Amino acid sequence: MHGTRPAGILCRVHGSPPYRGALPRAEHTRQAPDDEAIQPTTPVERGVPERHDHDAPAGGMPAVVNSLAYTVREAGLLRGTRALLRVNQDGGFDCPSCAWPDPEHRATIEFCENGARAVADEATRARVDPEFFREHSVADLLARSDHWLNKQGRLTHPMIRRPGATHYEPLSWDEAFATIAAHLRMLGDPNRAIFYTSGRTSNEAAFLYQLFVRQFGTNNMPDCSNMCHESSGTGLGEVIGIGKGTVQLADFALADAIFVIGQNPGTNHPRMLGALRDAKLRGCKIVAINPLREAGLLRFQHPQKVGDMLGGGVEIADLYLQVRVGGDIALLKGIMKGLLAAERARPGTVIDRAFVDTHTVGFDAFVADLDRTAWADIERDSGVPRAEIEAAAAIAASSRATIACWAMGITQHKHGVANVQCIVDLLLMRGMIGKPGAGVCPVRGHSNVQGDRTVGITEKPPRWSDALGERFGFTPPTTHGHDTVGAIQAMHAGEADVFFALGGNFLSATPDTELVAEALRRCALTVHVSTKLNRAHLVGGATAMILPCLGRTEHDEQRGGPQFVTVENSMGIVHSSRGTLPPASDMLLSEVRIVARLAAATLGADSTVDWDELADDYDRIRDAIEAVIPGFADYNARVRRPGGFLLPNGPRERSFGTADGKARFTVHALPDIDPGPGRFVMTTIRSHDQFNTTVYDLDDRYRGIAGFRRVVLVHPDDLEELGLHDGDRVTLVSHFGGQTRTAPSFVVVPYDIPRRCVATYFPEANSLVPVDSYADKSRTPTSKFVVVSLVPQA
C-alpha cells in the first residue's frame, strides 16, 4: 500500500475487454416506457382529513399505546419486544431514528415513540420478494402512496429493471456487481457518476464508500446533510472553527436557559423532551421560537414517570415566540438589542467583555449593526411584539449558562447560514460557548449523518486527503464534486450517467420532485441500496437496480465472525451498534460488504486495497480510520467501552479553529421575507407518524389531523380574506425566478400559524421547492421558505 496512483485511475481502462461496446452510451438512454411516463411521480391523495382535539400533552399514555400497537402490528409481540429491549443499550444497536445522545445511566426502556416505530418498521414481518415484483409493475407501484409502499415490508433479493421493461426481476449478486462495474468502467470521466449517501450509513460503510469513490476518481458524494444541516456546518465552521455543536447531554443538567429555535422535538427528536423536562423541573427557563405552537414544546407527559402520568405532565416553554416563517434573524437581532440595552443600563453585568475581548473579533461592527436596526423593522419582520422579544432578552441576560438548539426551521432558508451565525452571536455576547451548561446544539435528524461527514462523506476534499492517499497508495481527487443540488442539476443536464445511492429515498427527500424524476430518468443506470421499498426505486434510469441490505437491528456475520458498526451522535460521541435480530432474508448483504464487492468489481487490479479483507473484519476498517482521521486514536479499544468515546471539539475548550483562533461576530442584514401581494410563505413539516420521508401512519396526533396528509395549514383570518373555508381544496402554486410549480388538491385546515404563512407536509409538497432556491454558501434547499399562492379548486 505504498506509492501513488493518479486520481481517476479507471480512465485508463475504458474500452478494454470485456467492456468495449458492451453498454449503450448515456446520451442514447431511453425515455420512460409509456405506462411509466403517464404516471404522476407523487399520486394525489383522495378523501378528507379527520379532525380531533389536539390540546393534550406530548407523550403520555397515547405514546405508549401507539408504540405498542405499531410494534405488535409490524414486528409481532416477541420479535418486536426483543428488538426494543436492545435499542440504545450497551451491547445493543443504535436507534435507526434520530441522533439524540444516550444518557450515561440508561434505563431498561431507552427509546421514544418514534424510535419504537423506526425499530418495528425495520423489524417488520412483511416481505417484498420477487413474486411481489412479478405481480406489480412499476406503473402500478407509482400509483401507490408512500405509506402503502413502506407497508409492503423488507426487500429480500437484488432486483433489476432492464431497459424498456415494465417490471423488476431478480438477479444474482454477482450479476449485479458486474453490471454496475461495467457501467462505471465505461464512463469517459469518473465525474459522470454520482454517489449519494443516507445519514443512517455506519462509519465503517461510509469510510469504505468514500475510499472507493475517491479511488474511482471523483468527489461526487452528495448526502442528506446537504439537505438539512449543511447550513449549520457551514455557518459554525466560519465563526467557531468546527461544523458541529459544542455541548454534551450533561450540559442540559447545568443550563439556566435553553433556547429551542426552529425545531419540533416532540415529533422529530422525542427523546430530547426528557432532557427539557428535567431541566425545567430544576428551574431552567426554556424559550421556544417556532411559527407553529407544537405540543412537545408546550407540555410533556413522560411515559416512565408516574407523577407525569397521573398528572398533566410538565409545562415546557416559559416563553413561546411564534415567529413568522423566515423572521428568525429579525427576532434574534431584537433579543440581542435587548441584551445590549441591558448592558448599557447596567454596565459590566450583561456582556461578557472578558470573553469578547479575549476570544472574539468583530464585536464593534456587530454592535453598530444592532444600533442601526430599528425596532419597527424587527417587529414587522419577526411578527413578534417588542415586549415579548424583550422578555426573551431578559431570560438570556439573567442566565449564567445558556444552550441554543435548532434544526431545519433554521437551516432550510436562503439565509440559513446567517440564521445559524446570528444564534452564535447571541451566545458570544454572553460568553456562552466553552463553559459548562452552555453552547450551540444543532440537533441532527439522522442517526449517523454527523458521523458520515466525519469519516469523509463530502463533496469537498477532506482535510486528511493526503493521509488517505498515503495509507492506500493513490492520489485522491482535489476538485470539489457535486453536492445534492449540483447532482440533480448535472443529471438533468445530461452530465451524469450513473447514480448510486447508499440508503435513503433520494427522489422524495430532495426538492423539485418532478425535475428530480426527469433527472434520474436521464441516467443510464440508477442503483439504490435499501432495506424497504420507496418511491426512488420507481423512477430510475434506463437500467435500475435495488440492492437489499441488512438493517441496523440485524445480526451481521462476516468471515471474521460477528461484526458491529459505529455511529456518531449529535454531540460528537462515537459508540458501537450491534444488531441482534435474524436478517430478513438470507440474500441480504451488509452495506460494508456491498461497498467492498462493488469496489473490487469496479477497480480490480487498479486498486491497492484488499476490499474483501476489510469487509471480513470491520476492526480493520476502524484501524484505517484511526490511521487517517485525527481524533480516532485507539478506535477499536475505546469504542468497545460502555458509552463509546468523545471526539475532539476545540470550542468546548474555547480553542476556536479559525484562522486567528478567535470566534467571529457577524453582521447580517434583515432578509426580505415579504412574499408579495396575495401570496404566502410555505414551510414544510413532518407529521407525527413520520420519520423523514418514511410515513409510518397517516395520523398527526399532536396537530389533530388524521387519515390524510395532503393538507395546508392556514391562519383563519387568511382563509377568510381568501374566501376559503375549512375543508376546501386548493392548488398550491410556488413562485420563484419567474417560474411556477403546481401541486393540486390540498385541503385547507385553519390553524394557529402566523399570518401570511402556511405549512404543508413533506414529501407531498416537495415538488413546490425549486431546485435553484437554496441557502447562500451552504446550498441547502429552501424547503422551509417557499413563496406560494392558494388557488381555489371547484
Exposure pattern of 467-481 as b/e (b: 16+ CB <10 Å)?
A: ebbbbbebbbbeeeb
Radius of gyration of the chain (CA): 25
Cβ atoms of 404 and 443 closer than 8 Å: no
Cβ atoms of 59 and 103 closer than 8 Å: no
Segments making up each domain of the chain, as ranges = 9-42+127-226+448-650, 55-122, 230-442, 680-792
Residues 155 and 686: their CA atoms lie apart, in Å, by 25
Task: Render pLDDT for 207-223 as a digit per residue (tens, 0 to 9).
Answer: 999 999 999 999 999 99
- Beta strands 525-530 and 498-502 are parallel
pLDDT at position 266 is: 84
Cα angle 253, 288, 450 (rounded to 5 degrees) comes to 65
Does pLDDT of 344 surpass 80?
yes
Does pLDDT of 94 surpass 60?
yes
For 66, phi and psi rounded to 5 degrees? -60, -45
Query: What confidence tier does 45 reach under pLDDT thresholds 50, 70, 90?
Result: confident
Task: Render pLDDT for 663-713 as a digit per residue (tens, 0 to 9).
Answer: 999 999 999 999 999 999 999 999 988 888 889 888 998 999 999 999 999
Residues facing residue 530 across a β-bridge? 548
Set of cell numbers at residue 468? 488517505
Cβ atoms of 775 and 413 closer than 8 Å: yes
The verdict on pTM exceeding 0.85 is: yes
Cβ atoms of 524 and 23 closer than 8 Å: yes
Using N-to-C axis directions, what is the helix angle for 203-216 and 591-603, rounded to 10°?
10
* 227 contact partners, CB below 8 Å, separation of at least 6: 412, 484, 509, 510, 511, 780, 781, 783
Residues 758 and 461: their CA atoms lie apart, in Å, by 39
pLDDT at position 84 is: 82
**Mean predicted lDDT score pLDDT of the chain:** 91
Q: What is the mean pLDDT of residues 404-433?
A: 98
C-alpha separations of 453 from 263, 457, 597, 743 in Å: 22, 5, 23, 34
Task: Render pLDDT for 315-332 as a digit per residue (tens, 0 to 9).
Answer: 999 999 999 999 999 999
pLDDT at position 592 is: 98
Q: What is the mean pLDDT of residues 178-190?
A: 97
DSSP state of 155: E
Does pLDDT of 88 surpass 90?
no
pLDDT at position 351 is: 98
DSSP state of 87: B
Does pLDDT of 426 surpass 90?
yes
Cis peptide before 763 (omega within 30 of 0): yes
* 46 contact partners, CB below 8 Å, separation of at least 6: none
* 65 contact partners, CB below 8 Å, separation of at least 6: none
pLDDT at position 40 is: 55
Query: What confidence tier does 3 reach under pLDDT thresholds 50, 70, 90?
Result: very low
Does pLDDT of 30 surpass 50?
no
Exposure pattern of 233-245 as b/e (b: 16+ CB <10 Å)?
A: bbbbbbbbbbbbb
Task: Render pLDDT for 228-237 as a digit per residue (tens, 0 to 9).
Answer: 999 999 999 9
pLDDT at position 6 is: 35
Residues 321 and 290: their CA atoms lie apart, in Å, by 6
Query: What confidence tier does 11 reach under pLDDT thresholds 50, 70, 90?
Result: very low
Does pLDDT of 596 surpass 90?
yes
pLDDT at position 304 is: 77
Set of cell numbers at residue 637? 479499544
Does pLDDT of 33 surpass 50?
no
Kindly report which listed range (85-99, 511-525, 646-660) carries the lowest average pLDDT score.
85-99
Cα separation of the two ends of the chain:
69
- Chain CA centroid to CA 170, Å: 31
Does pLDDT of 20 surpass 50?
no
Kindly report which listed range (143-157, 257-271, 312-326, 591-605) carries the lowest average pLDDT score.
257-271
CATH of region 230-442, choose from 3.40.228.10, 2.60.120.620, 3.40.309.10, 3.40.50.1820: 3.40.228.10
The yes/no answer on whether domain 680-792 falls in CATH 2.40.40.20 is yes
Task: Render pLDDT for 107-120 as a digit per residue (tens, 0 to 9).
Answer: 777 778 888 888 88
Burial class (CB in 10 A: 0-12, 13-18, 19+), 30: middle
The helix or strand, by DSSP H or E, that contains position 102, with its residue range, turns out to be none
Query: 286 or 91: which carries more pLDDT confidence?
Result: 286
Cβ atoms of 526 and 180 closer than 8 Å: no
Does pLDDT of 389 surpass 90?
yes
Residues 641 and 575: their CA atoms lie apart, in Å, by 8
Residues 198 and 217: their CA atoms lie apart, in Å, by 21
Query: What CATH topology corresponds to 9-42+127-226+448-650?
Result: Rossmann fold (3.40.50)
